[in-house]
């Protein structure tokens, strides 16, 4: 029981750091429950950082993604304005479960909106989810 409590506290502190920090961190690592896949994360948790996203980047490292975190859960939309990289986005529940995954078209200004209320979105290189056998229903570990 004590070990489970420590793990819960660690997760809560990690999520608090991500949610309430005023700057972006690139040193966090995400894994997926029951999977071997891991991602290095760029955290986008301010209005300015979320608006910029991965715009104007010429590449994204192989196992790197951007985690967008909003202050509360609601339906969210993403777009690819000024983004030349083919990306996929996963919309996540507040507890980190993948609810939806969409491929996005470079430079498209069409909104890709979640069908559910979400707290986070994860953008990765297109094909990364399929290659790593990550799908709807999988849960992240931070």
Q: Residue 11: pLDDT above 90?
A: no
Q: Please give the residue that has the higher pLDDT: either 27 or 108.
A: 108
- pLDDT tens for 29-80 read 788 898 888 999 888 888 888 888 787 778 888 899 889 899 999 999 999 9
- pLDDT tens for 100-115 read 999 999 999 999 999 9
In contact, 91 and 118? CB cutoff 8 Å:
yes
Q: Residue 12: pLDDT above 70?
A: no
Please give the pLDDT value at position 45. 85
Burial zone of 121 (CB within 10 Å; 0-12 exposed, 13-18 middle, 19+ buried):
buried
Range 126-136 average pLDDT: 95
Domains and CATH numbers, the chain: 2-141 (2.60.120.1140)
How far apart are alpha carbons 84 and 57 in whole angstroms? 7
In contact, 89 and 56? CB cutoff 8 Å:
no
């Amino acid at each position: 029981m004590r070990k489970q409590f420590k793990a819960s506290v660690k997760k809560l502190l990690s999520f608090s750091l991500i949610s309430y920090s005023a700057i972006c961190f690139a040193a966090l690592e995400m894994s997926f429950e029951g999977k071997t896949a891991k991602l290095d994360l760029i955290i986008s948790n301010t209005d300015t950082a979320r608006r910029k996203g991965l715009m104007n980047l010429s590449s994204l490292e192989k196992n790197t993604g951007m985690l967008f975190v909003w202050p509360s859960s609601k339906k969210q939309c993403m777009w690819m304005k000024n983004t030349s990289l083919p990306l996929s986005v996963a919309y996540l529940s507040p507890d980190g479960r993948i609810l939806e995954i969409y491929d996005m078209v470079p430079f498209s200004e069409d909104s890709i909106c979640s069908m559910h209320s979400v707290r986070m979105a994860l953008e990765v290189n297109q094909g990364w989810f399929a290659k790593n056998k990550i799908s709807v229903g999988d849960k992240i570990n931070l």
